[in-house]
Structure 1
Amino acid sequence: MNKRGYLLQSRCYLKKGVERMNQIVGFIGTGVMGKSMVRRLLAHGYDVRIYTRTKEKAEDLLTEGATWVDSIASLANQVDVVITMVGYPKDVEEVYLGEGGIVQNAKAGTYLIDMTTSKPSLAKQIYEIAASHSLHALDAPVSGGDIGAREGTLAIMVGGDETAFHTIQPIFQALGKNIVFQGEAGSGQYTKMCNQIAIASNMMGVCEALAYAKKVGLQPENVLKSIESGAAGSWSLSNLVPRMIKEDYSPGFYIKHFIKDMSIALESAKEMGLQTPGLELAKSLYDELANQGEENSGTQALIKWYLST
């Protein structure tokens, strides 16, 4: 959709009574999820500034109404809210706390929202350092994949100060539907780990069910119709099995990023003395796939492991 189309869509949202804040929003991390999230913000009438290492990679978003900024420092100084959706905890740390990063350059009173799935301990560290600079930091990881990002139906799990959470609600409402304040800094990330732990074992069950159906000669599409609305139903079953059946392994969520998430969850569980055998097994299977060159495939590519055995 071009810039004119997004302006028309924005007017439509506003006519329907969708609230928005008169804030300039900076966005860092325009990958599979980030691009759709930027488009949601544009559609809701926000002035969105984006940073990418190369301007060419942002041309489609610029055509649709976003403004490109040539450095993190410059972006942080221009906006009222900074949203980050980057790859790994090391990226989060660099973007926020590194030289020329957000915390050093943001104006006092700026809201910092990290929507990356990252380490709870890092979320707490960023919160404390941000507070010392009169900045409001929230950890707000999401679930829902590329579909949720595109349709604005993400589940958003938020940690930090509750007052800041309520102030930023209109932005969250542009991006998701299930928006829950979980508690103090780090709570959003801890909640996302619960989400990823549940998905890890569920993905194994989903793939095993599909592999079983194929093995006995059933029609997978018909099996899905029967089981997705019953006790076996899950988001992964309804949204990822159709991709598996079509042999569509394009990423809504990269295997390499899921491995990162599972590693964080395992590390955190170990610190608490909690055993997570299902999570350990799931990670080992995904590690095998990554070693076979599937790290940039979507998580639904796990079915390949079952069908190859």
Structure 2
Amino acid sequence: MSALPANTKDIRIGWIGTGVMGVSMCGHLMAAGHPATVFNRTRAKAQPLLDKGAHWAESPRAVAQASDVVFTIVGYPADVRRVYFETDGVLAGLKPGAIAVDMTTTSPSLAVEIYEAAKKQGAQALDAPVSGGDVGAKNAALSIMVGGEAEVFAAVKPLFERMGRIIMHQGAAGAGQHTKMCNQIVIAGSMIGVCESLLYATRAGLDPQAVLGAISKGAAGCWSLENLAPRILKGDFAPGFMIDHFVKDMGIALEESKRMGISLPGLALVEGLYAEAAREGHGKDGTQALFLALKKLSGL
């Protein structure tokens, strides 16, 4: 079991990964009064947190040594493995009773591996991927899907509540990542629907903004239609969540589905379209940039 301070506000947090989402998420915890120690591969990206009083650490290990709860949100499974398992990684500095929380979307098997490694040294780990993109991170409105021991989840939940509105324990280690795969499968389908709908509206000579007004509040309503379709119409393809990362997530889901013996042909189709968008140079754009790849395919 964890050994966190009895007073929640006395919990010292560590944060590794201060990208588009991480900088906002850590900022919410700091605003709640938690002392923070941070690390990022590019120090400049952590500067907004340093300006607010966060302490800089030279490695993930140093972050863990200074913290009661260490949060990580990096890019890819390989990044997660390095952050946790290398000589200067989180596990090398994680103290007995401390908790590591990986909020990266990564493979369920890696989440279990981190959990088991933490347990061996008297610490704990949760996998807690999120949904909501940059907007959800900025507004502390994320959905957080958590795998790990129920008692540890309960101990960390007050911290999660500073970052999200929907926080749910999904089961044992790895269950949070499996739930995130379910989330990404739904988003994959909804995003292709949003983009093709706007292409159809354009070709039909409709006013796309009026179309959105008509369909976004009905049965077609969804997060992507409400939040990303308006960005498409404005020509805003900046990443709330990058295509490269979404391709990674869909790859994990397809790999897991194959391991479980199920077929997801719709996901495979969308993954192929997104991979093409990445090859067209949109990998660092937001997921809404699928519209550009489909527009090109349609000759528009």
CA positional deviation for 1:142: 0.2
SS class of match (2:166)? strand
- Of 73, 91, 101 in structure 1, the residue corresponding to residue 79 of structure 2 is 91
CA positional deviation for 1:57: 3.1
Q: How far apart are the structure 2 equivalents of 1:280 and 1:116?
A: 22
Q: How far apart are the structure 2 equivalents of 1:227 and 1:301?
A: 21
Which letter does structure 2 place at the counterpart of 1:240?
L
Q: How far apart are the structure 1 equivalents of 2:281 and 2:260?
A: 33
Q: Provide the residue aligned with 1:40 in structure 2.
A: 28
Gaps of 5+ in 2: 1-6
Q: Is the 8 A contact 1:113 1:140 kept in 2?
A: yes
CA positional deviation for 1:211: 0.7
Q: Provide the residue aligned with 1:183 in structure 2.
A: 171
Q: Provide the residue aligned with 1:200 in structure 2.
A: 188
Q: Provide the residue aligned with 1:12 in structure 2.
A: none
Q: Deviations over 1:162-199 (max 9, x none)?
A: 00000001100000000000000000000000000111
Q: Provide the residue aligned with 1:250 in structure 2.
A: 238
Which letter does structure 2 place at the counterpart of 1:287?
A
Q: How far apart are the structure 1 equivalents of 2:237 and 2:184?
A: 19
Q: Is the 8 A contact 2:128 2:145 kept in 1?
A: yes
- Root-mean-square deviation (CA, aligned residues, Å) is 1.1
Q: Deviations over 1:116-162 (max 9, x none)?
A: 00000000111111101111100000000000000000000000000
> Measured at CA, do residues 97 and 278 of structure 1 come closer, stay the same or move farther in structure 2, by a change above 3 Å?
same
- Of 57, 65, 83 in structure 2, the residue corresponding to residue 77 of structure 1 is 65
Q: Is the 8 A contact 2:83 2:90 kept in 1?
A: yes
Q: How far apart are the structure 2 equivalents of 1:217 and 1:157?
A: 41
Runs of 4+ in 1 over 4 A off after TM superposition: none
Q: Provide the residue aligned with 2:115 in structure 1.
A: 127
Q: Is the 8 A contact 2:140 2:163 kept in 1?
A: yes
CA positional deviation for 1:58: 2.0
Q: Which moved more, 1:47-56 or 1:167-176?
A: 47-56
Q: Indicate whether 1:294 and 2:269 are aligned.
A: no
Which letter does structure 1 place at the counterpart of 2:64?
A
Q: Indicate whether 1:168 and 2:156 are aligned.
A: yes
TM value normalised by structure 2? 0.95
Identity %: 50
Q: Provide the residue aligned with 2:209 in structure 1.
A: 221
Gaps of 5+ in 1: 1-18
Q: Provide the residue aligned with 2:269 in structure 1.
A: 281
